[in-house]
């Protein structure tokens, strides 16, 4: 739920940055043309283009960060899955790592289980 909010906020930021970049270009061209001098026009258009480039760069940086955070999330989910490879002890019901050969609570061993099953059946 919180992740969704963050994602929506980032998408909103990207849109705002793009719109601001376009507005910066349009404004600089309009103001530049209205100065009616070549250098004035050049100055305003260059300034507007610089602002637009910065805004678009920020937009790309946010996009990249979003991508990186998505990758990190996937990685952490993957790591969690690896770490939470648990199995339940058939004797006492205690959950322990699958890599353990015996239960850390009651010391029940996997080998004993098959033997008990054989005896029980």
Q: How far is the CB of 118 from Zn ion (least distance, A)?
A: 19
Give long-range contacts, CB 8 A cutoff, 24+ apart: 20-24.
20/55, 21/51, 21/52, 21/53, 21/55, 21/56, 21/59, 22/52, 24/48, 24/51, 24/52, 24/55
55-94 footprint of Zn ion as x/- string (CB under 5 A): ----------------------------------x-xx-x
Return all residues near 85 (Cβ < 8 A) that are at least 6 apart: 97, 98, 99
Q: How far is the CB of 94 from Zn ion (least distance, A)?
A: 5
How many residues touch Zn ion under the rule CB under 5 A: the total is 8
Distance (Å, rounded) from C-alpha 18 to C-alpha 120?
Answer: 71
- Binding part of the chain for Zn ion, among 8-16, 55-63, 80-88, 108-116 by CB under 5 A, reads 108-116
Strand partners, 2: none
Instruction: Note whether 113 binds Zn ion by CB under 5 A.
Output: no
Instruction: Note whether 109 binds Zn ion by CB under 5 A.
Output: no
Q: The tokens of 79 are what?
A: 């790591």
Q: 52 or 89: whose CB is closer to Zn ion? A: 89
Q: Enumerate binding residues for Zn ion (CB under 5 A).
A: 89, 91-92, 94, 103, 105-106, 108
């Amino acid at each position: 739920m919180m992740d969704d909010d963050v994602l929506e906020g980032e998408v909103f930021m990207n849109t705002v940055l793009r719109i601001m970049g376009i507005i910066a270009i349009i404004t600089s061209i309009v103001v530049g043309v209205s100065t009616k001098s070549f250098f004035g026009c050049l100055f305003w258009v260059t300034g507007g283009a610089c602002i637009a480039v910065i805004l678009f760069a920020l937009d790309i940086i946010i996009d990249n960060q979003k991508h990186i955070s998505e990758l990190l999330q996937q990685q952490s989910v993957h790591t969690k899955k690896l770490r939470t490879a648990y199995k339940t002890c058939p004797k006492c019901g205690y959950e322990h790592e699958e890599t353990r050969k015996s239960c850390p609570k009651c010391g029940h061993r996997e080998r004993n289980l098959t033997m008990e099953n054989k005896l029980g059946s």
